[in-house]
Amino acid sequence: MGIPAWVWFVIAVVAAVAGAALLLRDRSRSNSRDRERRRWAALRGWQFAEADPELVATWNSGAIAYYGKGNAVDVVAGSTFTADGRRRVYVFDLDVNGKRPAVIAAVQLRRKHAVVVELWLPSMPFQREHMPELLGPVGQRYAFVSDMAAARALITPDLVDASEEIGGDVTVVWLESDWVLASAPTNAGPSRLERLLRGIGEVADVLDPFDAETDPVGDQGQQPAE
């Protein structure tokens, strides 16, 4: 005996209601994160934008390569002081096909590096197509690099110590061009992101000591696109 049509109708209605509930929950979380990020930016005197369609194209490695290019949403842009001077910073959610797998924090250096250095937690399934070459353990992380000799020159004991302070909830820290970036979990709030910016700021100071004669970073940093 076949299943009555009304049973299938009930199943369809229940599935539709469940899907709508999940959509509303995700939207509520997104709106809450948006408001929290806005308040944080305002308190710091930084700029906020709901999205910046150009920003993610700045980078190609680390979490960007792992999760996909996507878009930058709930973007905070400004500048902050580190021990070796003032540096431009960005914080944004990486949105890939409507999902947000990570929060990206970035601190800018004053000079570019030709080598990419990715420091991954060993618990992360970090393999991907076109993965940089494995250099080996760096503290509690594994280093994957685009140039062995250049990377070895950069990975000093001070850099290892600074990377160890980043935190075990950050899957990858990476150097790319004139930026140090890190990938935090999506539930990272302003207090955690403040600590993360300080942590990667320390990495930036190791890689790029401050030159007192020049400080090109503006008071507010770049404004994100509206």
pLDDT tens digits, one per residue of 15-72: 444 433 333 344 444 577 889 999 999 999 999 999 999 999 999 999 999 999 999 9
> Following CA atoms 181, 184, 186, 191 in sequence, which dihedral angle do they give, to the nearest 10 degrees?
-100
The confidence score (pLDDT) of residue 8 equals 53
Burial (0-12, 13-18, 19+ Cβ within 10 Å), 179:
buried
pTM listed for this prediction: 0.80
Name beta bridge partners: 54.
Answer: none
Dist CA 206 CA 3 (whole Å): 68
Q: Give the confidence band of 6 by pLDDT, cuts at 50, 70, 90.
A: low
pLDDT of residue 2: 62
DSSP 61: S
Residue with structure tokens 């250049």?
Answer: 150
Residues 6+ away with beta carbon under 8 Å from 35:
none
